[in-house]
Amino acid sequence: MRIDVVTVFPEYLAPLNLSLIGRAADRGLIDLAVHDLRTWTHDVHRTVDDSPAGGGAGMIMRPEPWGEAFDALVEPATPPHLLVPSPAGVRFDQSMARDLATQRHLMFACGRYEGIDQRVLDEARQTMTVTEVSLGDYVLFGGEVAVLAIVEAVTRLIPGVLGNAESLAEESHNDGLLEAPGYTKPAVWRDRPVPDVLLSGHHAKIARWRRDQALLRTAQFRPDMLAGLPDEALSKADRAV
């Protein structure tokens, strides 16, 4: 997968060079490039914003630098999926992460100020899929934080990036449920024991206990997820919990 990120704060995306994502890039599993939007400005002040047409507070990002950036980064024969973080976007979730992880080329446009001139997205829609995407119903200063989260959620699903693919199978939101609580050594910590079943070595009982805990936690913290499960997702044993 190729991932391009365009931003006026390239240093904000530095964490993408760390840990598993950095290693995935080093191993060629992803081709990640962060671009400074000001590369495509031509005035001495490298201006990327201007006052809003029709008045109003704040500034809007000028279309010209974005248009030139996309012209430089987009190969017409294989256009990317353009993702534009926005409070008004489609809510990002694990299902979207799974879909994006199958795509060949993602490009992220990080807005700042009061956003990007609408004509940039309208123009981009002529040649590529454009999705405005929201992390949630709260307002950030710009799109960079959202891109960090989305890139992490997507790249960890790419085969080979996460060493132990097995952990993907048991994590929250993978099977429509929250994951069971986790424990490790010591067997007792500050008078709090690890649940006996986890030390029993009885794999079927351990699997059942974890499934029960996942169902109970989902019912407690995210009943909406439980309500959204298809009938066939719950076994007879699940329904007895």
Residues that bind ligand JCZ (CB under 6 A): 85-87, 111-112, 115, 134-136, 138-143, 146
Shortest Cβ contact with ligand JCZ: which residue?
111
- Look at the alpha carbons of 163, 168, 169, 171 in this order and tell me if their dihedral is positive or negative: positive
Nearer to ligand JCZ among residue 57 and residue 77 (C-beta): 57
Q: Which residue carries 């000028």 as its tokens?
A: 62
Nearer to ligand JCZ among residue 143 and residue 176 (C-beta): 143
Nearer to ligand JCZ among residue 139 and residue 169 (C-beta): 139
Instruction: Give min distance, CB of 116 to ligand JCZ, in A.
Output: 8
Instruction: Give min distance, CB of 143 to ligand JCZ, in A.
Output: 4
Instruction: Give min distance, CB of 17 to ligand JCZ, in A.
Output: 22
Supply φ then ψ for residue 11, to 5 degrees.
-65, -20
Q: Which two tokens stand for residue 194?
A: 């690890």
Instruction: Give min distance, CB of 241 to ligand JCZ, in A.
Output: 34
204 three-class SS = helix
Nearer to ligand JCZ among residue 62 and residue 112 (C-beta): 112
Spatial CA neighbour of 120 closest among 109, 105, 134: 109
Nearer to ligand JCZ among residue 139 and residue 204 (C-beta): 139
Nearer to ligand JCZ among residue 85 and residue 176 (C-beta): 85
Instruction: Give min distance, CB of 137 to ligand JCZ, in A.
Output: 7
Instruction: Give min distance, CB of 115 to ligand JCZ, in A.
Output: 5
